C-alpha cells in the first residue's frame, strides 16, 4: 500500500502545503467559534446540545490548560511562553524534510491552538474563551475550545511520530566494529 501523494510540485514544499492551510483553517474555526460563543451564550449558563454528554457553557480561563495559573502574571507569562513555542515549532517545521506530511500536520495543529489562545489573551484580560463542556450528569471535564483540541490532537500525533521514529531507530542493528588488528594490540 502506498502513501497518498499530493499533486505535482508547484514550487511549494509539501510540508508547507500541509502546514499553512491546516493552521489557517483551525485558527479560523477557533476564532469564529469563540466569537459565536461570546455572542450567543451567557456566562456560566449551560446550554444542552446532546444531554448530558455535550453542552455549551461560556467561561473564561485566565490561566492555561486545566486552569493552571501563576497568579496575576499568568496573562503575560503564558503569552510569552506561547510566542516562544510558536517560534520554536515553526523552526522545527523549517528544519523538517520538505516532503514531510505527518509532522507538519502535527505542528500546524499545535501552533494553531497556541495562536488561537494567544489571540484571546492579547485581545482582553478576561482570559481565553472556553465553551465546549463534556461529561456526564455527575461528572464534567474541563471546559475547552477548538484551539485546545488542536493542541491536544497535535501533541498526541507528534508523540506518536516521535515514538515511531524512536522505535524504528531501536530496530536498526548496530554496525559491528571491525576486529582488532594485531598492530592495535602491539600499540597498547
Enumerate residues 6+ apart whose C-beta is below 8 A from 103.
Answer: 15, 92, 93, 96, 158, 161
Domain boundaries, the chain: 14-163
**How is residue 132 written as a grid cell?**
465546549
- Mean pLDDT in residue range 59-66: 83
pLDDT tens for 71-98 read 788 889 999 999 999 999 999 999 999 9
Percent of the chain at pLDDT exceeding 90: 73
The CA R_g of the chain, rounded to the nearest whole Å, is 23
Catalytic positions: 130, 148
Enumerate residues 6+ apart whose C-beta is below 8 A from 53.
Answer: 134, 135, 136
pTM value is 0.82
pLDDT tens for 93-141 read 999 999 999 999 999 999 999 999 999 999 989 999 999 999 999 999 9
Amino acid at each position: 500500500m502506498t502513501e497518498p501523494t499530493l499533486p505535482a510540485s508547484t514550487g511549494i514544499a509539501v510540508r508547507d502545503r500541509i502546514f499553512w492551510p491546516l493552521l489557517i483553517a483551525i485558527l479560523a474555526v477557533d476564532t469564529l467559534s469563540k466569537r459565536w460563543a461570546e455572542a450567543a451564550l451567557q456566562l456560566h449558563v449551560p446550554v444542552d446540545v446532546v444531554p448530558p454528554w455535550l453542552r455549551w457553557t461560556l467561561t473564561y480561563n485566565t490561566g492555561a490548560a486545566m486552569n493552571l495559573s501563576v497568579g496575576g502574571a499568568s496573562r503575560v507569562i503564558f503569552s510569552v511562553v506561547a510566542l516562544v513555542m510558536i517560534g520554536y515549532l515553526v523552526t522545527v517545521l523549517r528544519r523538517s524534510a520538505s516532503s514531510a506530511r505527518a509532522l507538519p500536520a502535527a505542528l500546524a495543529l499545535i501552533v494553531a491552538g497556541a495562536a488561537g489562545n494567544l489571540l484571546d489573551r492579547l485581545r482582553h484580560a478576561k482570559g481565553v474563551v472556553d465553551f465546549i463542556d463534556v461529561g456526564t450528569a455527575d461528572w464534567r471535564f474541563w471546559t475547552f475550545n477548538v484551539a485546545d483540541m488542536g493542541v491536544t490532537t497535535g501533541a498526541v500525533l507528534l508523540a506518536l511520530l516521535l515514538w515511531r521514529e524512536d522505535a524504528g531507530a531501536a530496530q536498526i542493528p548496530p554496525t559491528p566494529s571491525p576486529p582488532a588488528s594485531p598492530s592495535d594490540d602491539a600499540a597498547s
